[in-house]
Amino acid sequence: MHQNYDPQPPQVAPAMRPKNGFGTASLVHGVAAATAALTSPPTGQGITLSLILGILGIVFGCIGIQKAKAGYATNLPSAISGVAISPAAFLISLVAYWIV
């Protein structure tokens, strides 16, 4: 016996939301490192804070760039900006420390 049935349309997986956390965190840490470098007195604490935030910004930015290139994130410019700002902020704090 042959049954007639309506074929179901193919199931489509729901669209994944982009995972932009690492790129955003990179940019935030880079800006915070720059703020710490430019506003804190040129002592060991300002350099230490800028170094820690700068390293975190670079690490998060590299992960964010990898996720964006793989298609899991959509904020590649934010990740690249964080990677660019973070070491620049640390260098600014070192220069300020050497000048004073």
Question: What is the rounded average pLDDT of the residues 70-96?
Answer: 89
- Predicted model pTM: 0.77
What's the CA gap between 97 and 89, in Å, rounded?
Answer: 12
**23-77, pLDDT tens digit by residue?**
999 999 999 999 988 888 767 788 888 889 999 999 999 999 999 999 899 999 9
User: By the 8 A CB rule, do 75 and 84 touch?
Assistant: no
pLDDT given for residue 66 in this prediction: 95
Kindly indicate the confidence band of residue 5, based on its pLDDT and cuts at 50, 70 and 90: low
Number of Cβ atoms within 10 Å of the Cβ of 58: 21
